[in-house]
Chains A and B, each alone.
Chain A
């Protein structure tokens, strides 16, 4: 029997993840809530949209867990739902969010439990597609729609740039990354290598096209996507060399797609990468031996 276990278990890991995401939410409330409120673009309640989305995600996940398993527990499903809510566009419709998330959670419990792929990416792409169909696809908040801002590099890095509802700050993203690196479960090599490969590829493409776009080089969505979305433990390789190959793949793919779809490139690349994780594991196993 094993009586003694390492103290760094799932519950501790998830707790650290949740604590790390708080600054992102607070900044999201500030940038896409408070600043718009004081300029009279939105109502008082709308300031807290990032928090409301998280609240909805938590309630729906726990409800579905309770319906199927008759128990409420903190697990990676909850973390995934919260991350989905963080990466939503600013003008996401509450009803669309609730319906899509609820249907996903039900289908996941019934049919997708044993199928391994990055579900955060799938749900996000579905949400964005529905917004596109409703003619509401945009990552601009109301202030950005009505005004033209000339963002420089420091604006983008500090979080004043265009992005999802809670993922505009690169500085906060880097702080989160450095904290998560202390978790032994966290596959820290993936964001590092994937962003490096992405950077090299995107600069090469821009060089060929003779069009430098700083918003693509310092995209908060992409950086935070590599940190939070592409490192999902369940759908990433578990051999170190497999992780490296996976990171190179998604970095390159993300760069190629981001030219046309700057906000969705990371999700499409990660989704495809997660579907062929078994290949990366096989290659990783072969290389380790």
Chain B
């Protein structure tokens, strides 16, 4: 498989100074339309509500239409009372044992629970702090914000699982963090920092393990965001009610990294923090090569990492010239040219978007392979 580095626009810079938006007036939690709603009922922070967990305390005002990723959906509107009154969470003992660890995450994060549920023996722990998307460094920033706690917790995990090897993987272009890490990481001799080249797809487990040439068996793999979340749950009994998002683009005066309360509306964040240079813009969520167009009524959930505010541009599709570049770049070695000629779908396609990116004729190849845009 050929790894490539995506071309960056030199005018867009990542601003790693963090802003905090912890006090939205309202949050919007997507919910199943069929559920019964009691308007004016009190809501506590960390209370399960609708399709998520409330990130603030307050009361339910009603229902509104929002966008949850690409889908228009109904959402519970909760007015923030700014008191941060928390729902009671089951207290954990101070000593961590494997069973407690698994049980403590199971109620609140199924994904994390599933990672630990299937673990038997752990030979190595790999923490992925790489962000594939251009101009994004959320994992790194999360690591930087919580570096001492994270390293201490990771040390405990190593002791718990008796892992022989522990790696934190970052890109070699993150020079500031590398310098800061070297000072602190020296105190943890069992934790190694691995620098990898700045190529696409390394944020995904399969490709990172392939690049590091390690087997998936007996490997505990976590992203940095997962590790921080886990650390907060286990050590402080805190659920993660916030999300780091990056807002950048060629029409943004100054790119920002903002830690927001989950279920905040994008509109409110942009109004407060972002100056847009031109009204003729489009919003792209999560990726410039396989993201989706969104609008200002987007709700910030766990799946939202970056919002690009970009100039609208028309790209004309041309006829395929059979150069074979898509073939050489496809991580699944799909014969894309053949699929395009015969207009047939492919189950193996990951929708990574690399074929679309590299195609000189600007053909939407994932649309052919997956049957949707």
> What residues make up the interface of A, taking CB atoms closer than 8 Å to B?
1-10, 13, 75-76, 184-185, 187, 233-234, 236-240, 285, 288
4 pairs of A and B residues whose beta carbons are closest in the complex: A238-B324, A2-B356, A4-B288, A9-B360
Q: Does the CB pair B7–A4 fall under 8 Å?
A: yes
Q: Does the CB pair A238–B337 fall under 8 Å?
A: yes
Instruction: State the main secondary structure of chain A at its contact with B.
Output: loop
Q: Does the CB pair B373–A3 fall under 8 Å?
A: no
Q: Does the CB pair A233–B322 fall under 8 Å?
A: yes
CB-contact partner of A4 in B289, B293, B322, B324, under 8 A: B289
Q: Inside 8 A of B358's CB, which chain A residues have their CB?
A: 6
Nearest CB of A to B169, in Å: 24
Q: Does the CB pair B361–A4 fall under 8 Å?
A: no
Question: CA of A13 to CA of B353 in the docked complex: distance in angstroms?
Answer: 22
Q: Does the CB pair B360–A185 fall under 8 Å?
A: yes
> What residues make up the interface of B, taking CB atoms closer than 8 Å to A?
6-7, 134, 282, 284, 288-293, 308, 310, 313, 315, 318, 321-325, 327-328, 333, 335, 337, 353, 356-362, 364, 366, 373
Nearest A residue (CB) for B311: A3
24 intermolecular pairs with C-beta atoms under 8 Å apart: A1-B293, A1-B373, A2-B353, A3-B284, A3-B291, A4-B7, A4-B134, A4-B288, A4-B289, A4-B357, A5-B362, A6-B357, A6-B359, A7-B7, A9-B360, A10-B321, A10-B360, A75-B318, A185-B321, A187-B323, A234-B322, A237-B324, A238-B337, A285-B335
Q: A13-B360, A185-B360, A238-B337 are in contact. Are A2 and B321 (CB under 8 A)?
A: no
Nearest CB of A to B333, in Å: 8
Q: Inside 8 A of A13's CB, which chain B residues have their CB?
A: 360
Question: CA of A6 to CA of B357 in the docked complex: distance in angstroms?
Answer: 6
Q: Does the CB pair B318–A5 fall under 8 Å?
A: no
Q: Does the CB pair B360–A8 fall under 8 Å?
A: yes
Nearest CB of B to A161, in Å: 33
Q: A4-B134, A6-B358 are in contact. Are A233 and B323 (CB under 8 A)?
A: yes
CB-contact partner of A6 in B7, B291, B315, under 8 A: B7
Q: Inside 8 A of B327's CB, which chain A residues have their CB?
A: 238-239
Q: Inside 8 A of B357's CB, which chain A residues have their CB?
A: 2, 4-6
Q: A185-B321, A233-B322, A239-B327 are in contact. Are A3 and B360 (CB under 8 A)?
A: no
CB-contact partner of B323 in A1, A75, A238, under 8 A: A238
Question: CA of A59 to CA of B137 in the docked complex: distance in angstroms?
Answer: 51
Q: Does the CB pair A234–B290 fall under 8 Å?
A: no
Q: Does the CB pair A1–B324 fall under 8 Å?
A: no
